[in-house]
Amino acid sequence: MSDRLDMDFGDDLIDHNTSDDWYTPPHIFEALGLEFEMDVSAPPNGVPWIPAKRFLSLLDDGLQVDWCGRVWMNPPYSDPLPWIHKFIAYGNGVALIPTSTGRWMLELWGCEASWLMLQPIKFVRSNLVQAKGFMPIRCWLVAIGESNIEALRQSGLGRVR
């Protein structure tokens, strides 16, 4: 059995050879059933299965660009704090974050958001191969905005708090 995703997206994804080049698996988006105006922390050209109209990459600097509409955010786990600050201030979207003891997680915990702890997930590498094992720490989906929170509740991915 192959770990390669059963999808043909060409070679659009770029691996920057960093620890941040891990992409959210497609089943998360299928369960959410949402369309996003922007993926604010994407690789160049975006991730083909993420239902976003616009993708902001390192080249665009999603921290400097004004966000619009509902956003998807899987921030760089190497430095999530500025992304979390902007996400909270913006107030309309869904984020995928790792469990952490960092200050940024406490700040996010204290805002008006709903949380869903995911079952262990296998991220996807830029060559469209799923990670061989599950991420060693649990990840959360965090939703801000009523329609995003409702999508979390209806997703079947777990219990929403």
pLDDT for the residue 135: 56
pLDDT for the residue 102: 87
pLDDT for the residue 19: 47
Q: Which residues of the chain have pLDDT under 70?
A: 1-21, 123, 125-136
Instruction: Give the C-alpha separation, 113 to 50, whole Å.
Output: 22
pLDDT for the residue 34: 98
Contact 112, 90 (CB under 8 A): no
3-class DSSP assignment, residue 20: coil
Instruction: Give the C-alpha separation, 54 to 60, whole Å.
Output: 11
**Model-level pTM?**
0.83
Instruction: Give the C-alpha separation, 120 to 111, whole Å.
Output: 25
pLDDT for the residue 122: 74
Name residue, tokens 């390669």. 4
Instruction: Give the C-alpha separation, 114 to 158, whole Å.
Output: 12
Contact 33, 143 (CB under 8 A): no
Instruction: Give the C-alpha separation, 113 to 108, whole Å.
Output: 8
